[in-house]
Amino acid sequence: MTEPFTFEVLARQGRARAGILHTPHGDIPTPIFAPVGTQATVKALTPAQLIELDAKLILSNTYHLYLRPGDELVASLGGLHQFMAWNRPILTDSGGFQVFSLTDMRKVDDDGVTFKSHIDGSTHRLTPEKSIAIQENLGADIIMAFDECASPYDRSYLEKAMNRTHLWAERCLNAQTRRDQALFGIVQGGIFPDLRQQSAETIASLGFPGHAIGGLSVGETKEEMHRVLELVDAILPESKPRYLMGVGTPGDLVNGIRRGIDIFDCVLPTRLARHQAAMTPTGRINLLNAANARDDRPIVTGCGCYTCQHFSRAYLRHLIIAKEMLSATLVSIHNIYTLLQLTRDLRQSILEGRFDEFCIENDPQLATGE
Amino acid sequence: MTEPFTFEVLARQGRARAGILHTPHGDIPTPIFAPVGTQATVKALTPAQLIELDAKLILSNTYHLYLRPGDELVASLGGLHQFMAWNRPILTDSGGFQVFSLTDMRKVDDDGVTFKSHIDGSTHRLTPEKSIAIQENLGADIIMAFDECASPYDRSYLEKAMNRTHLWAERCLNAQTRRDQALFGIVQGGIFPDLRQQSAETIASLGFPGHAIGGLSVGETKEEMHRVLELVDAILPESKPRYLMGVGTPGDLVNGIRRGIDIFDCVLPTRLARHQAAMTPTGRINLLNAANARDDRPIVTGCGCYTCQHFSRAYLRHLIIAKEMLSATLVSIHNIYTLLQLTRDLRQSILEGRFDEFCIENDPQLATGE
C-alpha cells in the first residue's frame, strides 16, 4: 500500500505521537476519535452536523450493512461515501466482532463463521474472503481484517482464536483486490502477555499498512488494558498507524494516546446521548436528574459545542422528559464534541511538547485516565 | 398595538397579497408558513437547521408548554425564545384547540374550561385570562385569543361556542398586560356563512392587530373552507394580517393565499416525515415503498433542500427500515422546505404580478389546490 495512505509522525512526547494519515478522502490528523455510524448513519446526526463538529473519520459496520441494506446495493449506489453523503474518510470493521457477539447464533470453524441474522434469523456465512469482498463493495478508506474476538480470560480458546485470526489475516491480504483501501491487521490475544506478543509479532510481519488492537474493552481491567497496550506498542512498527478498537471514554483516549495509539472509535458518545447521559472530561451528567430542572447552565460551562452554546440543562431535561428526538441529537453533538475536542487538545499538546502538562493541568482524572 | 407590529402590504394580485409583518424578533415576509414546535422544539430539527431552511416564524403550543415544563419555568429561564434558542418570531396558540380536542376529559362553561392533563390526568383550568397569562410567560411575538373550536356542522352548539369566543376575545384583550406581543383575535362559526359573517364582524370590531380564522381543516370539505375564507376575507380589515390556523398542504397554501391569507401553520410536514411520507408540490411519496429500494434519485429532482441535495430515496428508505432517527430529520427538512419554498415562490410571484401564471405554470394541481 503506497501513496494514498502515507502516515507521517509529526511529533512525539514519550510514547504519544501526533501525525497525519493521508487517505483518498482526505487527511486524518492523529490521534483521532471516530464516531460510529453503525447503519450508515451516526445516530441522530446529519453529515452536516458531523462536519460542523469537524469529525475527520467515521466508522461503519460491515455486519449491519451486509445484512441491511446489503453491500451490493450500497456499491450500486456509488459506495458508502456517496450512499451516506460523507465525503471524508470512513473505516469499516470486518463484521467479526458483531458475528462473534451473537454467541448462540453462530458457529465458527477454521474457514469462517456461519451465523443467523439478528434481524430475521436467516443464515449467512462470513469468511475472510467474504468480509473483504463486502468491505470492497462498501468502499471505505480503511478496512479491517476478519478476526475472531474471544473472551479475554479463556486462554485455551483465545489461543485457538488467535491462531485462526493470524491465518485469516493472511487470507484477507490475499483476498484484497482494491488498492485504494488500507487494510489493517488486528492483534488479538486477550490479556495474556505471551499471546499478545506472539500476535503483535505475527501481524506486524505481514506487511499491513496499519495495525489494530482488538479484544480490549471487553471486560478486562484498565490495568490489564494498559499492559497490553504497552506490550503491543513496543512491537508494532512505529511508522504505521495504530488503532485501538471500540474504546472511547475520555480516560481511555488519554491512556491510549500515552501508549502510542493513533485512532479510536466508540459508540459511547451517541449511545450515552440516547440514554440522557452527557459526557464531560471528568465524568457523566445524568440530564434527567431533577437537579437540572431549573438549571440555566449548559452541560459544560465554556464548552464550545453547538449544544452548550445554545441550550440549558433545563431545556435538555425538558426534551428528554417530553420524549423529543432533539434531545438525542443535541446530547450526541455535545458528547462527540467532547471526545473530538479532547483529542484535538491532546494532539496540540503533543505538537507543542506539553502533553504531560496538559493532562495534569486539565484534570487529575485525565492524568490517571479514570 | 403600534410600532413593533406594523404590517405592510407590498403588492396585491387579485385577493392575494405580499407583505411584511414587523415584530420585535424580526420581520416576517408574508405569505408565510410556520413550522410547528409543539413542545418548544420542531420535532427532530435543531434551530440551526430551521435557520438554514430560512424559517421565519414558528408556532409553539400553550397547552403543551403549560403542562410541561410549565410556563413559569420557561419565564424564569428567559422566555420561550431563549429556552428553545430561537431568536426569530414565535407564535403561540391559546391552548383552546388542544383543550377542546380532549373531548372526554374537559368541561366547558362560560367562564372557561376545566380539563384533565393527557400526561398524568391531573385537573387544570384554562380561562381567557389564564391563557393570556401563560402566553405572556412564554413571551411569543404573536399570541392568540382563547377561543372555542367546535365541530363545524353542529349549528346550535357552534352558535353558543362562537358567542363564548366573542366574549372571551374581549376578556383576552382586557387581560393583556405586555405591549410587546401582538394578540390576534380568532373568527369562528364553522361552515355557516351567517355565523362566520357575524364572527368576522364582531372580531374585526374589537381592534386586534391581527386576525385568525379558526375552526377550519377540521372535517369540512375544501369547497366549504374556500367559501368561508372568501366570506371572511371580505370583512376583515385589509390593513391587518390574517392567519389561517392549522392548515398546510401545498394546495391549501395556494388556495388560502388566493383568498387573502398571510400566515399558515401546520404539523403536517413534520408529522408526515415521521411516517415516511415526503411532500411534493404535487403529492406525497411513501418512501417505504419497495420501488424506492434501489432508486438513486432524490425525493424531488431539482429540489434545493439539504436532503435532496445529498441523499437518495434508497438511502432514506434504508434509514426508515433500519429505524434510524435521521430519517425523521431528513424528511422533515425536505417537507418543511417544500412548504417554505412554495410560499416564497408564491410571494415572489405576487410581487412580480404573475401569481396566477405561477400557479398554472407550475402545476395544474396547484391551480385547483388539491
SS3 string of B82-140? Answer: HHCCCCCCEEECCCHHHHHHCHHHEEECCCCEEEECCCCCCEEEECHHHHHHHHHHHCC
A38: β partners: none
A106: β partners: A115
pLDDT class for B365, splitting at 50, 70, 90?
low
Please tell me the total count of domains within chain A: 1
Say if the Cβ atoms of B84 and A328 lie within 8 Å.
no
Give chain A's radius of gyration (CA, Å). Answer: 20
pLDDT class for B360, splitting at 50, 70, 90?
confident
pLDDT class for B4, splitting at 50, 70, 90?
confident
Domain CATH for B170: 3.20.20.105
pLDDT at B322 over 60: yes
Q: Which of B83, B311, B326 sits opposite A44 (nearest CB)?
A: B326
pLDDT class for B1, splitting at 50, 70, 90?
very low
For residue range B174-225, what is the model confidence (pLDDT) as tens digits? 999 999 999 999 999 999 999 999 999 999 999 999 999 999 998 899 999 9
Which 3 state secondary structure label does DSSP give A99?
A: helix
Where is pLDDT greater, at A163 or A280? A163
Does B275 contact A at CB distance below 8 Å?
no
pLDDT class for B359, splitting at 50, 70, 90?
confident
Does A331 contact B at CB distance below 8 Å?
no
Say if the Cβ atoms of B318 and A48 lie within 8 Å.
no
pLDDT at B125 over 90: yes
For residue range A334-350, what is the model confidence (pLDDT) as tens digits? 999 999 999 999 999 99
pLDDT at A2 over 70: no
Quote the pTM value.
0.96
- What is the distance between the alpha carbons of residues A102 and A97, in angstroms, rounded to a whole number? 9
pLDDT class for A281, splitting at 50, 70, 90?
confident
Predicted local distance difference test score (pLDDT) of residue B100: 85
**Cβ of A56: how many Cβ atoms within 10 Å?**
23
| Residue A185 covered by a domain | yes
Predicted local distance difference test score (pLDDT) of residue A370: 45
- What is the distance between the alpha carbons of residues B225 and B252, in angstroms, rounded to a whole number? 9
For residue range A68-87, what is the model confidence (pLDDT) as tens digits? 999 999 999 999 999 999 99
Least Cα separation, residue A247 to chain B (angstroms)? 23
Does B85 contact A at CB distance below 8 Å?
yes
- What is the distance between the alpha carbons of residues B98 and A188, in angstroms, rounded to a whole number? 60
Q: Which of A69, A317, A326 sits opposite B44 (nearest CB)?
A: A326
Least confident of A149-158, B248-257, B357-366: B357-366
pLDDT at A360 over 90: no
Direct distance between the N- and C-terminal alpha carbons of chain B, in angstroms, rounded to an integer: 37
Predicted local distance difference test score (pLDDT) of residue A192: 97
Judge whether B295 counts as a catalytic residue. no
Cis bond leading into A35, ω under 30°?
A: no
Identify from B46, B53, B76, B305 which residue to disrupt to test chain A contact, counting A C-beta atoms within 10 A and taking the largest count: B46
Does A155 contact B at CB distance below 8 Å?
no
pLDDT at B369 over 50: no
Question: How many percent of chain B have pLDDT more than 90?
Answer: 89
Least Cα separation, residue B325 to chain A (angstroms)? 5
Q: Give yes or no for a contact between A248 and A225, defined as CB atoms under 8 angstroms apart.
A: no
| Residue B312 covered by a domain | no
Mean pLDDT of chain B: 95
Question: How many percent of chain A have pLDDT more than 70?
Answer: 97
| Residue A72 covered by a domain | yes
Q: Measured at the alpha carbon of residue A64, what is the angle toward residues A59 and A68, in degrees to the nearest 5?
A: 125
| Residue A187 covered by a domain | yes
- For the segment A231-250, the average pLDDT, to the nearest whole number, is 96
Least Cα separation, residue A296 to chain B (angstroms)? 6
Phi, psi of B340 (to 5 degrees): -65, -45
Q: All 3 cell numbers of residue A308? A: 452548550
Alpha helix (H) residue ranges in chain A: 47-52, 62-67, 71-76, 80-83, 96-101, 128-138, 155-175, 193-205, 222-233, 250-258, 268-273, 306-310, 313-321, 326-351, 355-362, 364-368
Mean pLDDT of chain A: 95
| Residue A122 covered by a domain | yes
| Residue A307 covered by a domain | no
Please identify every residue of A annotated as catalytic: 93, 265
Q: Give yes or no for a contact between B186 and B203, defined as CB atoms under 8 angstroms apart.
A: yes
- For the segment B285-293, the average pLDDT, to the nearest whole number, is 97
Predicted local distance difference test score (pLDDT) of residue B370: 45
Q: Which of A45, A68, A319 sits opposite B322 (nearest CB)?
A: A68
pLDDT at B283 over 50: yes
Does A76 contact B at CB distance below 8 Å?
yes
Identify from B120, B326, B334 which residue to disrupt to test chain A contact, counting A C-beta atoms within 10 A and taking the largest count: B326
Least Cα separation, residue B92 to chain A (angstroms)? 18
- For the segment B148-165, the average pLDDT, to the nearest whole number, is 93
- Strand A16-23, strand A7-13: pairing: antiparallel
Domain region containing A72: 3-267
pLDDT at B90 over 70: yes
Q: All 3 cell numbers of residue A46? A: 446529519
Tell me which of B93, B141, B252, B262 is the catalytic residue.
B93
| Residue B146 covered by a domain | yes
Q: Which of B77, B314, B317 sits opposite A296 (nearest CB)?
A: B77
- For the segment A30-34, the average pLDDT, to the nearest whole number, is 98
For residue range B134-155, what is the model confidence (pLDDT) as tens digits? 999 999 999 999 999 988 899 9
| Residue A93 covered by a domain | yes
Direct distance between the N- and C-terminal alpha carbons of chain A, in angstroms, rounded to an integer: 37
Q: Which of B49, B68, B83 sits opposite A322 (nearest CB)?
A: B68
- What is the distance between the alpha carbons of residues B15 and B242, in angstroms, rounded to a whole number? 12
pLDDT at A368 over 70: no
Which of 27-46 (A) contact B at CB < 8 A?
39-41, 43-46
Does A325 contact B at CB distance below 8 Å?
yes
Predicted local distance difference test score (pLDDT) of residue A1: 43
pLDDT at A276 over 60: yes
**Residue with cell string 404539523:** B267
**Cβ of A166: how many Cβ atoms within 10 Å?**
22
Q: Give yes or no for a contact between B93 and B144, defined as CB atoms under 8 angstroms apart.
A: yes
- With helix as H, strand as E and coil as C, how does chain B read? CCHHHCEEEEEEECCEEEEEEEECCEEEEECEEEEECCCCCCCCCCHHHHHHCCCCCEEECHHHHHHCCCHHHHHHCCCHHHHCCCCCCEEECCCHHHHHHCHHHEEECCCCEEEECCCCCCEEEECHHHHHHHHHHHCCCEEECCCCCCCCCCHHHHHHHHHHHHHHHHHHHHHCCCCCCEEEEEECCCCCHHHHHHHHHHHHHCCCCEEEECCCCCCCCHHHHHHHHHHHHCCCCCCCCEEECCCCCHHHHHHHHCCCCCEEEECHHHHHHCCCEEEECCEEEECCCHHHCCCCCCCCCCCCCHHHHHCCHHHHHHHHHCCCCHHHHHHHHHHHHHHHHHHHHHHHHHHCCCHHHHHHHHCHHHHHCC
Q: Residue A4 class from Cβ within 10 Å (0-12 exposed, 13-18 middle, 19+ buried)?
A: middle
Interface predicted TM-score of the whole assembly (ipTM), two decimals: 0.96
